[in-house]
Amino acid sequence: MTATISTAKGSEHARILSIAGYRPSRVVTNAEICERIDSSDEWIRTRSGIIERRFAEPHETVQMMSVQASKKALERADIAAAQIDCVIVATVSHLMQTPAVATLIADELGAGPAPAFDISAACAGFCHAVGLGADMVRSGSAKYVLAIGVERLSDITDPTDRGTAFIFADGAGAAVIGPSDVEGIGPIVWGADGSKYDFIRQIQSWSDVLEMETPEMPTLRMDGNPVFRWASFEMAKIAREALDRAGVMIEDLDVFVPHQANMRITDAMARALRLPEHVVIARDIAYQGNTSAASIPLAAAALLESGEASSGQTALFIAFGAGLSYAAQVVTLP
């Protein structure tokens, strides 16, 4: 017989309850980067807007940075780890294929036996996690979700590659997502274009590495100009769609937090979007570099901590990267 199965029931609305980041201790200047590549401080600043970045020290592991950011986020949300119903970690730089680092993070925080898993959507990962978390809260799969974006890209960056050595960096960001009386997380606009799989990629697969005479850690490569074109112009269309789907006029936007890929992409997107003057634009990349999945929560937390943005304001998140994958949503800042 076909039994009657109950439907889970969640909160009608979801919102981000808190957001926090962890910045590794070691500051790496452009001068230090230029010891390994033929470049200059001025070239790096004009091409990327990066003045310095942070690299993790050995003890600042993916797990450690995630736990630190998460503890701060839980404290700000006034939620105990035991209340978390799901831990989602967006990363591409945890160098242990399985199990998911999310399980270790959940255990160390005391969030077990909450389900915990990693997602691989590169720089777009955090916005994927926020979208999934909001859907879980609204569908009844979870009341509170911890969404983490974390990277140690310095482990998989070739310090002699002129195209990427100055861009990538390390860090972690975390957000607690929970129920709300009014909507705080707009419809996600997301997608992937596997025909551009090669634009940003790990140069060899693990099996290719095993066949090398002297095995080397595979590193990241990027086709800068095509990525710049796609990110600056195609992603501006996705950003507009996220605003449309949320029913938010661009004039009503307070804060723009794009993935901190490159300051030139942020500037080109802002121009393409015709952002009004009053909109605060996240420019965390200047002192943090491109931290892939961690960049949006780090940048948003920095704006809230500095007072440039405030709780209750309307922000647009848009993240894009390897895949090519992308995700955007309008949110109310916690």
Query: Mind telling me the catalytic residues?
Result: 123, 259, 290
How far apart are CB 223 and another protein at their closest, in Å?
A: 9
How far apart are CB 106 and another protein at their closest, in Å?
A: 41
Q: Of 163 and 179, which CB lies nearer to another protein in the complex structure?
A: 163
Q: Of 47 and 71, which CB lies nearer to another protein in the complex structure?
A: 47
Going by C-alpha positions, the residue among 302, 309, 79, 318 that lies closest to residue 186 is 318
Q: Of 41 and 254, which CB lies nearer to another protein in the complex structure?
A: 41
How far apart are CB 84 and another protein at their closest, in Å?
A: 41
Q: What whole-number distance in Å separates Cα of residue 239 and Cα of residue 241?
A: 5
Q: Look up tokens 């990267």; give the residue.
A: 321
In DSSP terms, 329 is beta-bridged to 317
Q: What whole-number distance in Å separates Cα of residue 122 and Cα of residue 119?
A: 9
Q: Which residues contact 3 (CB under 8 A, 6 or more apart)?
A: none
Q: Of 268 and 318, which CB lies nearer to another protein in the complex structure?
A: 268
Going by C-alpha positions, the residue among 131, 247, 288, 238 that lies closest to residue 300 is 288
Q: Of 97 and 225, which CB lies nearer to another protein in the complex structure?
A: 225
How far apart are CB 50 and another protein at their closest, in Å?
A: 14
Q: What whole-number distance in Å separates Cα of residue 187 and Cα of residue 245?
A: 6
Exposed / middle / buried, residue 311 (Cβ in 10 Å: 0-12, 13-18, 19+) = exposed
Q: Which residues contact 191 (CB under 8 A, 6 or more apart)?
A: 238, 325, 326, 327
Is the Cβ–Cβ distance between 44 and 32 less than 8 Å?
A: no
What letter would DSSP give residue 153?
Answer: G
In three-state form (DSSP H/G/I as H, E/B as E, the rest C), the secondary structure along 193-207 is: CHHHCCCEEECCCHH
How far apart are CB 230 and another protein at their closest, in Å?
A: 10
How far apart are CB 47 and another protein at their closest, in Å?
A: 7
- Half-sphere exposure of residue 314, counting CA atoms within 13 Å on the CB side? 16
- Backbone φ and ψ for 235, nearest 5 degrees, come out as -75, -25
Q: Of 2 and 225, which CB lies nearer to another protein in the complex structure?
A: 225
Q: Of 245 and 264, which CB lies nearer to another protein in the complex structure?
A: 264
3-state class of 99 per DSSP? Answer: coil
Q: What whole-number distance in Å separates Cα of residue 65 and Cα of residue 34?
A: 27
Give contact residues for another protein (rule: CB under 8 A).
46-47, 224-226, 228-229, 232-233, 264, 268
Q: Which residues contact 211 (CB under 8 A, 6 or more apart)?
A: none
How far apart are CB 166 and another protein at their closest, in Å?
A: 14
